[in-house]
Structure 1
């Protein structure tokens, strides 16, 4: 190993330094996690830390029966450390001792005088006379100059290779640091999601237990009231019998005088019905027929490849690895459809529809459908069973025609719709009780509603202007009615949508707060950040792959893919989060005119069919 310059030697020493004692490795031992430390350093650490943890990544280490001595030896690092120590020692001796490199090894008292070209060695005068008298020679200085060019080229090449390996080691250290940081952040995210889920489950548990306590109290009150009534009758009848029995024992005359009172009491209870069992209604618990709540997913991200030292010439790259493999699916390839369930049909009866528009699915698997013509919300299970319905009424009792629905983080339903003279955003509980109402500007255009659960905001689309000169806006509400941005009348912040948005129909929000808005007039989807700044748009009028015709409903799935109801083309389309077309989810053979779309946490896609007055549940589409 040629002597490395001071900068390279310093970098090598950094890589070969134990992070515990800050000295070159001595008997280096490699932990299962890949980090290396001196054997004695690990022994000292193992005595005070049980169980032993890696000082770098904090991963717990299970020592072999032999203890630290039984860990894997790192022979390569040990050899490099020993050679580096030898070089350091030699360089120190060179500085201390006088130069003796010009002395002849065969004649120590003689110095080299000339260089023998034939033998390619330096020789002294005595060697020249004895063995090299007839050989071609030259001066030591000239021979050194001729050789220096070749040697210097090799030195430069060696240093270049050393630098590439040191760069590789530095990149490994940076990658290791990045992986540790990402792991810590991922752990934090998982724990946060777990705590939030535990909090929700705890609140649900407390709510269910309080309902059981209330039910038990009502049943016990019924029993106590019946007990008090029966005891009063029992006391009256028992007292009359006791008095008559006592008078009978005391004499005939007293008995005759008391017979009338006893007769009346017995007659009273002779015709009275006997007490009947108390009708109680004990509470029972039935677990929801849905899968266990999904905490989340840990996905493996593709990281930039670590640079490797320069490969020898003529080496080839045999293949490549790409992320997000999807089997044999190709972009735009039409995939076979899975099973579907159709619910409803035209009409006003239970389970029938009159122009259904918006749809939302709760975490418990309940489907909420805006039954516009029937002025109501109908609720179904994902298996198609009818659960309940309620009228979309205002606090004054007037009925409202619902257009779009969304569920907030508190499992409350938000509905936008209107009467012949006004438009509203109304919050209902699951049973249809009005909780809150926001007055909206009367525009005559359909609206969409979405909930940004990350910021706890309600987003409502609005179209302003006259026919042919319309413009899109998003109204931002806080559920409690506190203004986000104070205006003269309404507790609302208005975000004016840029880049030509004309007729916003529906809206959805992804995990980071970006807004996706369908434009009925421009036949595309506009994407804005949470502040309303335009990011990009996709779609465009047409029937080809990735094109749209009067898009309406929109939602996202667990992978942040975007699902759009392409009502004009009688199909539902899927795009990735960048707007790249992925596939046709449904085609005109599956559906009439899709309007609303919603994803269930269990993986089903629910679509409202405005033309056929029904809804369709696609299983694991």
Structure 2
């Protein structure tokens, strides 16, 4: 055995060399992914600029056409008013003559009355009848300008050889990536976004989209409640696939919210007509497991504590005028673990998230506040309060956190998306004047995804 030890040590050393060699591929892969996302964002930005120019041109042409149309209508109205005055004068003369004839005065019409009638009739007897008003309606003549070319995707010459060992840098860390992609000084960049969807049941359309989550690979999963399905898109808004939400026995379920677990599987909560469920799917839509929930007329939210592999589900009970909100914690097999937030006076809870430290964040719609608990369920603090001022909330819905721990809230009735730091201090408005916001989700690549119930669409924000 003693003679075999040196050979075994040599084998281990060779294995270690292979492991070090494999590490050489990690940095190029990350760089390639980052460059791909940068290229995609640049293409979308250029497209948005061209679309904006086309919209501006459209508004200008429509304004010119409207101005021409108004002038033609005014011309017709002026001529109509002139002719109407003549018609009214003749009609009045006829009415007087008919009235006098009916009274038997035809024999005693005095000279002045006959003269007046004769003058009116004579005034119009030789007058030319009105002619058709000549209008000049505008005509749109499209140009023969070819469709603008966004640009070209080129492959530059290879850079200098990759170093034999990766050199750590600040941008290799999670904090560094967050700083690089999304923490520029406020005002340095204007937020950019794309919006897709629209009301309907066809592929890519929505009927009241609610919950949303994003996988590590950058796929967006949207809970399309009215159509009782999950739709999947890329971070560029391209449709990928869809699958129905089925609870049991083929019965479809209306989804309320959706979340991703540590293994890349999907958890969906919702109701059928008679029962509530939490269902786990793989990314292709195959049911993996499910467990029953108490049937409720209130919507539910779901989040996953990936460190403990716990499923967190919001629950609201009670009458409509006296609701009570709490968070239920389950293991993936449906075993109940504990309840969070029973003593904090929370009312109507829907959306929930778990940050990187395991803290539980939940939005209370009725109390207009965000409640924060630690990973053991102990209450830490809350922030918000009803109002439209800085740091206040009104009917908060979706909630998520970014890589730096900042808290992002869909401030629904104030029609804005807010960013707070991890202590609840207001940082900035991400976007404003958006009606009927629902859920928000943060991609690992730095994009913010927002669902909109009234517009039946989804928006992807970056550089905010």
Does the alignment reach a TM-score above 0.5?
A: yes
What is the match of residue 366 of structure 1? 219
Alpha-carbon deviation of 1:295? Answer: 6.1
Instruction: Kindly provide the CA deviation profile for residues 99-139 of structure 1, in whole angstroms up to 9, marking residues without a partner as x.
Output: xxxxxxxxxxxxxxxxxxxxxxxxxxxxxxxxxxxxxxxxx
Q: Is the 8 A contact 1:335 1:583 kept in 2?
A: no
Specify which of 341, 345, 356 is matched with residue 511 of structure 1: 356
- Within the alignment, does 1:585 sit opposite 2:462 as a pair? no
Residues 27-426 of structure 1: matches in 2 within 5 Å?
296-297=173-174, 329=186, 337-426=190-279
Q: Is the 8 A contact 2:190 2:463 kept in 1?
A: no
- Within the alignment, does 1:601 sit opposite 2:444 as a pair? yes
What is the match of residue 291 of structure 2? 438
Aligned to 2:263, the other structure's residue is in SS state: coil
Alpha-carbon deviation of 1:381? Answer: 0.2
Q: Is the 8 A contact 2:189 2:463 kept in 1?
A: no
Instruction: Kindly provide the CA deviation profile for residues 581-615 of structure 1, in whole angstroms up to 9, marking residues without a partner as x.
Output: 00001101xx3221010001111000001110000
What is the match of residue 614 of structure 1? 457
- Partners in 2 of 1:577 and 1:493 — Cα distance? 25
Gaps of 5+ in 2: 1-21, 30-170, 177-182
Q: Is the 8 A contact 2:235 2:460 kept in 1?
A: yes
Measured at CA, do residues 555 and 339 of structure 1 come closer, stay the same or move farther in structure 2, by a change above 3 Å? same
Q: With structure 1 as the length reference, what TM-score do the two structures score?
A: 0.45
Instruction: Kindly provide the CA deviation profile for residues 240-294 of structure 1, in whole angstroms up to 9, marking residues without a partner as x.
Output: xxxxxxxxxxxxxxxxxxxxxxxxxxxxxxxxxxxxxxxxxxxxxxxxxxxxxx9
Residues 445-456 of structure 1: matches in 2 within 5 Å?
445-456=298-309
Larger Rg: 1
What is the match of residue 368 of structure 2? 523
What is the match of residue 575 of structure 1? 420
Q: Is the 8 A contact 1:498 1:534 kept in 2?
A: no
Alpha-carbon deviation of 1:336? Answer: 6.1
RMSD: 2.3
Q: With structure 2 as the length reference, what TM-score do the two structures score?
A: 0.60
Q: Is the 8 A contact 1:519 1:525 kept in 2?
A: yes
Alpha-carbon deviation of 1:335? Answer: 7.9
Q: Is the 8 A contact 1:575 1:583 kept in 2?
A: yes
- Partners in 2 of 1:455 and 1:552 — Cα distance? 25
Aligned residues: 293
Alpha-carbon deviation of 1:531? Answer: 2.1
Q: Which has the higher contact order (CA 8 A, sep 6+)?
A: 2
What is the match of residue 311 of structure 2? 458
What is the match of residue 60 of structure 1? none
- Partners in 2 of 1:581 and 1:397 — Cα distance? 46
- Partners in 2 of 1:344 and 1:604 — Cα distance? 18
Measured at CA, do residues 327 and 615 of structure 1 come closer, stay the same or move farther in structure 2, by a change above 3 Å? closer
- Partners in 2 of 1:608 and 1:375 — Cα distance? 16
What is the match of residue 128 of structure 1? none
Instruction: Kindly provide the CA deviation profile for residues 452-507 of structure 1, in whole angstroms up to 9, marking residues without a partner as x.
Output: 011111100001222232221111111244x3xxxxxxx44333433221111211
- Partners in 1 of 2:277 and 2:185 — Cα distance? 48
- Within the alignment, does 1:553 sit opposite 2:398 as a pair? yes
- Within the alignment, does 1:476 sit opposite 2:332 as a pair? no
Q: Is the 8 A contact 1:400 1:418 kept in 2?
A: yes
- Partners in 2 of 1:518 and 1:335 — Cα distance? 30
Alpha-carbon deviation of 1:565? Answer: 0.7
Q: Is the 8 A contact 1:335 1:584 kept in 2?
A: no
- Partners in 2 of 1:327 and 1:396 — Cα distance? 51
What is the match of residue 119 of structure 2? none
Measured at CA, do residues 502 and 298 of structure 1 come closer, stay the same or move farther in structure 2, by a change above 3 Å? closer
Gaps of 5+ in 1: 1-193, 202-293, 300-325, 484-490
Q: Is the 8 A contact 1:497 1:532 kept in 2?
A: no
Aligned to 1:420, the other structure's residue is in SS state: coil
> Higher strand fraction: Structure 1 or Structure 2?
2
Measured at CA, do residues 494 and 298 of structure 1 come closer, stay the same or move farther in structure 2, by a change above 3 Å? closer
- Partners in 2 of 1:358 and 1:339 — Cα distance? 22
- Partners in 1 of 2:354 and 2:322 — Cα distance? 27
Measured at CA, do residues 432 and 441 of structure 1 come closer, stay the same or move farther in structure 2, by a change above 3 Å? same
Aligned to 1:465, the other structure's residue is in SS state: strand
Q: Is the 8 A contact 2:291 2:333 kept in 1?
A: no
Aligned to 1:442, the other structure's residue is in SS state: coil
- Within the alignment, does 1:544 sit opposite 2:386 as a pair? no
Q: Is the 8 A contact 1:428 1:435 kept in 2?
A: yes
What is the match of residue 120 of structure 2? none
Aligned to 1:543, the other structure's residue is in SS state: coil
